[in-house]
Amino acid sequence: TYQIELENINKYYGGYHALRDISLGIEPGEFVALVGPSGCGKSTLLRTIAGLEGISGGTLRIAGETVNDRAPRERDLAMVFQSYALYPHMTVRRNLTYSMRLKRRSKADMERSVEEIARITGLESLLDRYPRELSGGQRQRVAMGRAIIREPKAFLFDEPLSNLDAALRVHMRSEVRQLHNRLNATSVYVTHDQIEAMTMADRVVVMRAGVVEQMGAPLDLYDRP
Ligand code: ADP
Ligand code: ADP
């Protein structure tokens, strides 16, 4: 479990100043939600942590090491998106092991990992199904399983539940949070849904127009007029 530190992060898209001097420390094991109106820079911030987006200034540290110039695959983070990005022609099992195959892990080793991930994500009975044979929540669990199987240092979630219907969304909130706890992970979770942020996060960071406007524990923010 790892600390993520942002120090004076700035990001320009051409002349547009999308992230303005953002400083933020995320503690090992913490679950932080990033909220704010559309266009305020939530995704951009998440993508800079992932290394999918370069920064124009500032320092980004993961587990104490500066990663500004590291490629995404060298940052040991797992992203979970709202589009599940599963391979439709592969079973759940193959979807889970695909990235391990590329890493040339032994067959026995992969089997062990798949069983463990299936247990954690509740996919034991679904390993031989294809994505089209799964519900939205089950697909999202496969997507999370694929992220976990990489044994990442931290999770970056970009509105992972926004494609699900309301009831499932509420259920998956607690599933994601339980997963975070069980793995003792560090998580950054982008959502435009304030209730989601309040119910899931240890700390809520509110962004507006490229700056951090306020942050605090859900109840502290909630009590504020
Ligand atoms: P949010 O995730 O909070 O909705 P984004 O991080 O996606 O916001 O976008 C922040 C701002 O940066 C928006 O004004 C958006 O239009 C702009 N932006 C995002 N990506 C790009 C890009 N690739 N090129 C130019 N502007 C961008
Ligand atoms: P593919 O992207 O074709 O499925 P891999 O799963 O091996 O192949 O991913 C290739 C690279 O893409 C990885 O080394 C990693 O850097 C990045 N990547 C893939 N999935 C994720 C993820 N969930 N989170 C973060 N990075 C990922």
What confidence tens digit (pLDDT) does each residue in 197-212 have? 999 999 999 999 999 9
The Cα–Cα gap between 151 and 162 comes to: 25
Residue 103 has pLDDT above 80, yes or no: no
Does residue 18 line the site of ligand 1, with CB under 6 A? Answer: yes
| Tokens representing residue 209 in the block | 């127009």
Mean pLDDT over residues 88-106, rounded? 84
In the DSSP assignment, the letter for residue 84 is -
Mean pLDDT over residues 162-190, rounded? 88
| Tokens representing residue 26 in the block | 């995320």
Mean pLDDT over residues 143-161, rounded? 86
Quickly state the pLDDT bin for 44 (edges 50, 70, 90): very high
| Tokens representing residue 74 in the block | 């060298």
Torsion of CA 147, 151, 157, 158, to 10 degrees: -50
What is the structure's pLDDT at 209?
97
Burial 167-202 (b: 16+ CB within 10 A, else e): ebbeebbebbbebbeebebbbbbbbebbebbbebbb
Residue 83 has pLDDT above 90, yes or no: no
Q: Whose CA is nearest to atom 15 of ligand 1?
A: 39
Q: Whose CA is nearest to atom 4 of ligand 2?
A: 99
What is the structure's pLDDT at 224?
57
What is the value of ipTM here, to two decimals?
0.68
Does residue 41 line the site of ligand 1, with CB under 6 A? Answer: yes
Residue 13 has pLDDT above 90, yes or no: yes
Look at residues 119, 117, 177 and name the one whose alpha carbon lies nearest to residue 146: 117
Rounded to the nearest angstrom, the distance between the alpha carbon of 209 and the centre of ligand 2 is: 30
